[in-house]
Amino acid sequence: SVNVTLIFGLGRYDGVMDAYLEGLEKAKDNGHDLSKIHSVASFFVSRVDTEIDKRLDALGDPQAGNLKGKAGVANARHAYRAYEEKFAGERFQALKAAGANTQRPLWASTGVKNPEYRDTMYVTDLLVANVVNTMPEKTLQAFADHGEVLGDQVTTKYAEADQVMGDLAKLGIEYDDVIAVLEREGVDKFVKSWDDLVTTVREQLEAAAGSKQ
């Protein structure tokens, strides 16, 4: 099972799905059981709002204020639409006939960072079939306490997502730049976490070796 993570933008996501399909095709050619191959694509949500909200605040425009806290959900809804289109295509259908599974979207970064927003918005507003949501514990507890299950909140909201992203573009919010910033920051954080882990393991190994001398 493979988790492709740190996805923020639709362009990157399209490449991830294509890579998954290519992998399935190679697996099929090599005689593997496609039904045993599983994967998720982790699409980050709240960080998109954090970055775009910051840019909206800088505009100081009343219309900009009305768009705060809406980009993350709209972007994720667009991602799900891309998922539906990709896996409804002929390329995957041929693989599906051989037992292949879709690469399920996974909503990541679903903890609300702005206390002014509903603490369950990245769960309630992104409910849809065939998706995984990796909620942090605080969000999980909040949803268990007062979350609402209102049915499909994604495929029925594509027009709303289009409107939000269109309005952001009209205000000069550059989607590609936002995504580039988030990817760069995300990779830097992952690298730091890995370096910290390696350092901790090395120190513990050295300490253990020293205690045996």
Least Cα distance to 122 among 101, 93, 142 occurs for 142
Asked whether residue 14 carries a pLDDT value surpassing 80, the answer given is yes
Asked whether residue 58 carries a pLDDT value surpassing 90, the answer given is yes
Stronger pLDDT, 197 or 157, i.e. the higher one: 157
pLDDT bin (cut points 50, 70, 90) of residue 30 is very high
* 60-115 residue pLDDT tens: 888 899 999 999 999 999 999 999 999 999 999 999 999 999 999 999 999 999 99
CA dist 9 and 180 (Å) reads 9
Asked whether residue 164 carries a pLDDT value surpassing 90, the answer given is yes
Q: Which two tokens stand for residue 118?
A: 């509903």
pLDDT bin (cut points 50, 70, 90) of residue 207 is confident
Which pLDDT belongs to residue 141? 98
CB 95 within 8 A of CB 17: no
Q: What is the pLDDT averaged over residues 35-44?
A: 98
Asked whether residue 4 carries a pLDDT value surpassing 70, the answer given is yes
Least Cα distance to 13 among 86, 71, 73, 74 occurs for 86
Q: Domains along the chain?
A: 2-173 (3.20.20.70)
pLDDT bin (cut points 50, 70, 90) of residue 213 is low
CB 24 within 8 A of CB 34: yes
Which pLDDT belongs to residue 70? 98
Averaged confidence pLDDT in the chain: 95
CA dist 119 and 26 (Å) reads 43
Stronger pLDDT, 138 or 213, i.e. the higher one: 138
Sign of the alpha-carbon torsion through 158, 132, 116, 193: negative
Q: What is the pLDDT averaged over residues 7-25?
A: 98
